[in-house]
Amino acid sequence: MSKPGIVIIGSGFAGIGMAIKLKEAGYHDFVILEKAPDLGGTWRDNTYPGCACDVPSHMYSFSFDLNPGWSRMFSPQQEIWDYMRACVDKYRLGPHFRYGKHVVGLEFDDEARNWEVTTEDGAVLRANAVISGIGALHIPKFPEIKGRETFTGPAFHSSEWDHSVDLTGKRVAVIGTGASAIQFVPQIAPQVGELILFQRTPPWIQPKPDFAFPESARKALALPGASRLLRNGIYWTLETRALGFALDPRLMKVHEAMARKHLARQVPDPELRAKLTPDYTIGCKRILISSDYYPALTRPNVTLNTDGITEIRERSIVDANGVEHEVDVIVYGTGFKVTDALQEQRIIGRDGLKIQEAWQDGIETYLGITTSGFPNLFFLLGPNTGLGHNSVVFMIESQVRYVMSCLRLLSRTQARAIDVKPEHQASFNARLLERLDPLVWNSGGCQSWYLDEHGVNRTIWPGFTFEYWARTLKAKRAAFDLIY
């Protein structure tokens, strides 16, 4: 049994950002446990055609490691992944990685006051603190459709794209029209023989202001202060979108008008346009951006089916009108099991408290980072810290700074562990849910993965990101029980 001081789980933006800041602060006794054979989290897993970030790259990157060389306003997956690797090399994090280490259990030892971290291969580590950077979007969700397993052709999820399947000339069914599907549909549409897109709910889509940075622009962005200036401009532009999200859903009308105009301009056929027009307030689901999705749907080899699916057979999909569509390949763009990522973990805290018991009335944390009964366990991109309007990397950085502040609190007080007080957590959550209640995610008239099975929003931060930044500046001693 080895004894690192700190265990980080996951090597996406969260895990890497945390590791960089630990190292900068002089912590060297930490490991990053990564279930896969390589780093990168979602930017390693998602390799579907057209995968790119829908947040501008100059904002979707670390504020302490600006990259003037981004090729585009919205850079593709490979480039983001390369950026993450470059950060790992630059900050010499390599020796801290442990690949193929899938964490299957965390148990707090009340006697020793530290965590026992068990990985799938049976290894056990002891750690003073555990920082979970596992993210929410990595367990593929397949729809529960009768006969799904009986399909004999290739069938795969967008996040597990099977590049060995040649789609050229094939009849391909795509199920789902979310953020992933709207990126890969335009890419595969010209290649396939026939594409049937099964849409359950149309997304709101705005134009994507994407462009390549010419060499001269990249040179200019390398000048002192230039990339920072651009980043700040993007930050505040995106932040204005929170006005509608965080203050009053009626302000979303401007965004809706923009999306309607986009649809009208790109889809002349009124019948197709009607099928693509959402009936809920924009922002209730993630607002998507694309300039090539609607044109792809107007291609003669693409059909939009909105009838619903009743059954999948060996070589076909049957819609609710009883029409059987023969297909060669099925691609599932059906999203992720969001709450399972945290809730199904085997995490046992103080006095044998299971996380499922602690969260039996719903996931609750303090600032999305700590949860009562689980000392020195920190979540990055935890509950209610997701965003509909800005870059989550900004949220991750706030959380990393907060965890560093908690670690400083530990060393300052000489405590072995800190555990957030239940009353602090309760009042934080009561206020959070009260704020979320009138906002667009709850009141916009849609079903989304932001809401749990009881319709409670456990995903989104209800305000401006600078508010979150301010609230996570420093860990308040009074919010925690100190365990000596």
Dihedral class, residue 424 (left if φ above 0, else alpha if ψ from -120 to 50, else beta)? alpha
Is residue 30 a contact partner of residue 7, using CB atoms and an 8 Å limit? yes
Residue 333 binds ligand NAP, judged by CB under 6 A: yes
Dihedral class, residue 139 (left if φ above 0, else alpha if ψ from -120 to 50, else beta)? beta
Residue 335 binds ligand NAP, judged by CB under 6 A: yes
Rounded CA-CA distance 477/474 in Å is 9
Residue 179 binds ligand NAP, judged by CB under 6 A: yes
Candidate residues 56, 133, 176, 349; the one interacting with ligand NAP per rule CB under 6 A: 176
Candidate residues 286, 325, 350, 424; the one interacting with ligand NAP per rule CB under 6 A: 286
The minimum distance between CB 143 and ligand NAP, in angstroms, equals 3
Which residue in this structure is represented by tokens 């023989």? 193
The pairs formed by 228-236 with CB atoms below 8 angstroms and a separation of 24 or more are 228/66, 230/58, 231/58, 231/59, 231/63, 231/66, 234/56, 234/58, 234/59, 235/59, 235/390, 235/391, 235/394
Rounded CA-CA distance 480/148 in Å is 48
Of 176 and 375, CB closest to ligand NAP = 176
**Structure token digits, residue 412:** 């300052």
Residue 383 binds ligand NAP, judged by CB under 6 A: no
Candidate residues 201, 301, 343, 443; the one interacting with ligand NAP per rule CB under 6 A: 201
CA distances to 214, 218, 466 from 225, in Å? 19, 13, 21
Candidate residues 6, 39, 53, 73; the one interacting with ligand NAP per rule CB under 6 A: 53
User: With CB under 6 A as the contact rule, which of the stretches 16-24, 125-133, 147-155, 179-187 interacts with ligand NAP?
Assistant: 179-187
Of 201 and 291, CB closest to ligand NAP = 201
User: With CB under 6 A as the contact rule, which of the stretches 47-55, 243-251, 255-263, 350-358 interacts with ligand NAP?
Assistant: 47-55
β-pair type (114-119, 329-332): unpaired
Tell me the residue number closest to ligand NAP, measured at CB.
Answer: 178
Residue 385 binds ligand NAP, judged by CB under 6 A: no
Candidate residues 54, 82, 239, 319; the one interacting with ligand NAP per rule CB under 6 A: 54
User: With CB under 6 A as the contact rule, which of the stretches 94-102, 178-186, 231-239, 370-378 interacts with ligand NAP?
Assistant: 178-186
Candidate residues 80, 181, 363, 381; the one interacting with ligand NAP per rule CB under 6 A: 181
